[in-house]
A = this chain, B = another copy of it.
Amino acid sequence: MVNIVLLGCGGNVPTPTRNLSSLFIDYRGRGILIDCGEGTQVSMKMAKTGFKNIDLICITHLHADHTIGIIGLLSSMGNSDRRDPVTIIGPNGIRNLIKASLVINDGVPFELRVIENPIGKMCIYDDNLKDIEIDVLPLEHSKECLGYSFYFKRQRKFNREKAEANEVPKFLWNNLQKNMTYFYNNRYFTPEMVLGEERNGIKLSFITDTRPIDSIPEFIKGSDLFVCEGMYGDDMDISKAVKNKHMTFRESATLAKRGGVKKLLLTHFSPSLTDPEEFIENASSVFANTIIGENRLELVLSYPEEKSD
């Protein structure tokens, strides 16, 4: 199970009614944050996400509405007794931005591992992140911008019949499930001997800010949740979308459909778009399972077969 909180749904500038677009992901009690505009830490307090358990911060691009909040967030993480390293991923320039941030907040009491512009698939060798496959896609915006997708693996079930058939001593069952390997009584015992089949995980993709380029549908393919910018609701705003390198609801929904995702969550609304619900038809007529984002909207993403367990 993966829980998400859309910490904000606004684009460009923070407003009294809309926090800036940012997503908090809770996976096994650990936190991942995507984008962090000014005021994100206050939204996190309201959503009670906590600060200490954030292991990974992904920044899509270096426009201020996606970055400024990181300065105060890192301070607040330090104040919350965070001492373990934190990984930060972002486009070219992210190192400079983090360096500048540390001038402003006077440094933090934990190591920052900055990964700059890591296009493609990767895993991060951190105990809390190792079961997540991360994919990074270059997007098309007025500034170098990255899309992210996350595949959260599901633990394989213990298979008693298999364990017994392999004559695995009972006292090893528990630790073999935890992916440990043993040599006992002149035999090797591996996790494979006690675990059932691979099970489908959860895929979540996050795309903002960009034009709807052709590489996106393949990248988001089969996502359980596709979080996507919807800067403009009105189809008539297409010329603004083209000019400012953003998308209309219809364009985002078309990507959702082409990518065969399960659910589309629209976010990053223009400050001029006062009531996004007014335009939902422009998305849902293309892709039915569309949700309009709002501050601190929470969703639970279940593993595909979880309901029948």
> Which A residues fall within an 8 A CB radius of B?
13-16, 38-39, 41-42, 45-46, 62-64, 67-69, 71-72, 75-76, 79, 96-97, 99-101, 103-106
- Contact call B75/A15, Cβ cutoff below 8 A: no
List, in ascending order, chain B residues with CB within 8 A of A96's CB: 103
Question: For the complex, what is the distance from the CA of A68 to the CA of B99, rounded to whole Å?
Answer: 15
Q: How many copies does the complex hold?
A: 2
Known interface pairs A68-B105, A69-B38, A106-B62; A13-B76 also in contact (CB < 8 Å): yes
> Which residue of chain B has its CB nearest to the CB of A73?
B38
Known interface pairs A13-B79, A15-B45, A45-B16; A72-B38 also in contact (CB < 8 Å): yes
List, in ascending order, chain B residues with CB within 8 A of A64's CB: 71-72, 75, 104-106
Known interface pairs A96-B103, A100-B100; A41-B69 also in contact (CB < 8 Å): no
Known interface pairs A68-B72, A69-B38, A72-B68; A16-B101 also in contact (CB < 8 Å): no
Beyond known contacts A14-B72, A62-B106: 5 more, CB 8 A cutoff: A13-B75, A16-B45, A39-B39, A39-B42, A97-B103
Expressed in whole angstroms, the minimum distance between the Cβ of A13 and any Cβ of chain B is 6
> Which residue of chain B has its CB nearest to the CB of A101?
B104
List, in ascending order, chain B residues with CB within 8 A of A103's CB: 96-97, 99-100
List, in ascending order, chain B residues with CB within 8 A of A101's CB: 100, 104
Q: Which of B38, B46, B97 lies in contact with A38, CB distance below 8 A?
A: B38
List, in ascending order, chain B residues with CB within 8 A of A39's CB: 14, 38-39, 42
Question: For the complex, what is the distance from the CA of A106 to the CA of B99, rounded to whole Å?
Answer: 14
Question: For the complex, what is the distance from the CA of A271 to the CA of B304, rounded to whole Å?
Answer: 43
List, in ascending order, chain B residues with CB within 8 A of A75's CB: 13, 64
Q: Which of B38, B76, B79 lies in contact with A41, CB distance below 8 A?
A: B38
Expressed in whole angstroms, the minimum distance between the Cβ of A271 and any Cβ of chain B is 10
- Contact call B69/A42, Cβ cutoff below 8 A: no
Question: For the complex, what is the distance from the CA of A64 to the CA of B70, rounded to whole Å?
Answer: 12
- Contact call A42/B14, Cβ cutoff below 8 A: yes
Q: List 5 A-B contacts (CB under 8 A).
A: A16-B45, A38-B38, A71-B71, A71-B104, A97-B104
Expressed in whole angstroms, the minimum distance between the Cβ of A208 and any Cβ of chain B is 18
Expressed in whole angstroms, the minimum distance between the Cβ of A242 and any Cβ of chain B is 21
Expressed in whole angstroms, the minimum distance between the Cβ of A49 and any Cβ of chain B is 13
List, in ascending order, chain B residues with CB within 8 A of A71's CB: 38, 64, 68, 71, 104
> Which residue of chain B has its CB nearest to the CB of A42?
B14
Expressed in whole angstroms, the minimum distance between the Cβ of A77 and any Cβ of chain B is 11
> Which residue of chain B has its CB nearest to the CB of A13?
B76
List, in ascending order, chain B residues with CB within 8 A of A79's CB: 13
Q: Which of B16, B45, B68 lies in contact with A68, CB distance below 8 A?
A: B68
Expressed in whole angstroms, the minimum distance between the Cβ of A1 and any Cβ of chain B is 27
> Which residue of chain B has its CB nearest to the CB of A65?
B72
Question: For the complex, what is the distance from the CA of A16 to the CA of B15, rounded to whole Å?
Answer: 14
